[in-house]
Amino acid sequence: MLRDEMRQSLRLIQSESDHLAVAVKSIQLIKHIIGRLRDHIRNHPFADRQEEIHHFKKEAPLFYSRLFYFLKVLQTELHRLHTSQAEMVAFLERELSAIDEFYRFQEDFCKMYYLGDTRIDDRLYIRNEAENPRSDDVEITMDSDYCVGCYYAARLFANKSLKVYLEKQCKIIQSAPAEDAGPQIKWEAGTYALGEVILAAYVSEWFGKARLKDIAAVFEKAARKRVGNINVIWQDMKRRKKEVAKNLLQAAEALNRKAAESA
């Protein structure tokens, strides 16, 4: 059976230690198996509506739940590559909250599925474009297999595994030695002053041809302060007409005074 083949193949892939590589290989494998499953259904159409309902209620969710799980693992591991420990924990906690939110918003469906309620199966598990409009990328990933009941059931199964994975990653990070945050100093000059420094560095090409948003990220991290939309600050500065960079002018004056005092 394709399900057994998928399980055995995933078990071999998961023996690797690199979570990112495991996710990529698992997604490729599952997509290939789902493709074979679709081909089988295309060549052997369902005998009746009940057979179609059974497939999209009991069989297909088992394949798509693994796909959804590893898509989320891939997203998580890619995020880990360019973020701090604190930001990574915040990301994981947001994902855990999203799982709780799914259960909260789809509580009725969860109850029906677990209690074996079949009253609206002919609406939930039938591929009908009118009944099942598609919106997000994961739904579109299901393509011709999409029906709302199959999607929710797959999410239900995937979330059970994801919750375990996300909580484990949180514990690992929180138990690891804290990153060296450097001296604990605080930016006191205000958001606009920081914005002026960022824009001055950008237009003066102090960082060469670096992008404005990248320069902003460097200064925000150093100052431990967000400037928000830097373009809004730039528009406000231009409206001043005189003393466009008043905070930088004040800083230059203070530097000149200090230099004169110590001359």
Together in a domain, 195 and 166: no
Together in a domain, 154 and 197: no
8 Å CB contact between 167 and 150: no
Dist. CA 197–CA 207, nearest whole Å: 12
Q: What is the pLDDT of residue 25?
A: 95
Residue among 91, 69, 93, 68 at smallest CA distance from 80: 91
Question: 206: domain range?
Answer: 191-252
8 Å CB contact between 212 and 241: no
Together in a domain, 81 and 124: yes
> Which alpha helices (DSSP H) does the chain contain, by range?
2-13, 19-43, 49-54, 60-80, 85-105, 107-115, 121-124, 137-142, 148-175, 191-203, 212-223, 230-240, 246-261
pLDDT < 50: residue spans in the chain: none
Residue among 80, 78, 65 at smallest CA distance from 34: 65
Together in a domain, 73 and 97: yes
Q: Mapped to the 3 state alphabet, what secondary structure does 140-166 carry?
A: HHHHHHCCHHHHHHHHHHHHHHHHHHH
8 Å CB contact between 104 and 96: no
Q: What is the pLDDT of residue 68?
A: 94
Together in a domain, 164 and 216: no
Q: Which residue has the tokens 């259904």?
A: 41
In a domain, 263, yes or no: no
Together in a domain, 211 and 119: no
In a domain, 186, yes or no: no
In a domain, 124, yes or no: yes
In a domain, 180, yes or no: no
Number of domains in the chain: 2
Together in a domain, 160 and 60: yes
Q: What is the pLDDT of residue 218?
A: 85
Q: What is the pLDDT of residue 181?
A: 52
Together in a domain, 36 and 163: yes
CB atoms within 10 A of CB 49: 12
Q: Please say which residue of 148, 175, 202 terminates a domain.
A: 175
Q: Please say which residue of 118, 151, 175 terminates a domain.
A: 175
In a domain, 114, yes or no: yes
Q: Please say which residue of 175, 202, 236 terminates a domain.
A: 175
Together in a domain, 51 and 165: yes
Together in a domain, 121 and 216: no
Together in a domain, 33 and 152: yes
8 Å CB contact between 145 and 33: no
In a domain, 260, yes or no: no
In a domain, 228, yes or no: yes
Together in a domain, 140 and 246: no
8 Å CB contact between 179 and 84: yes
Q: Return the exposure string of 169-187: e unless at least 16 CB atoms fall within 10 Å of the residue's CB, then b.
A: bbeeeeeeeeeeeeeeeee
Dist. CA 104–CA 116, nearest whole Å: 19
In a domain, 197, yes or no: yes
Q: What is the pLDDT of residue 113?
A: 93
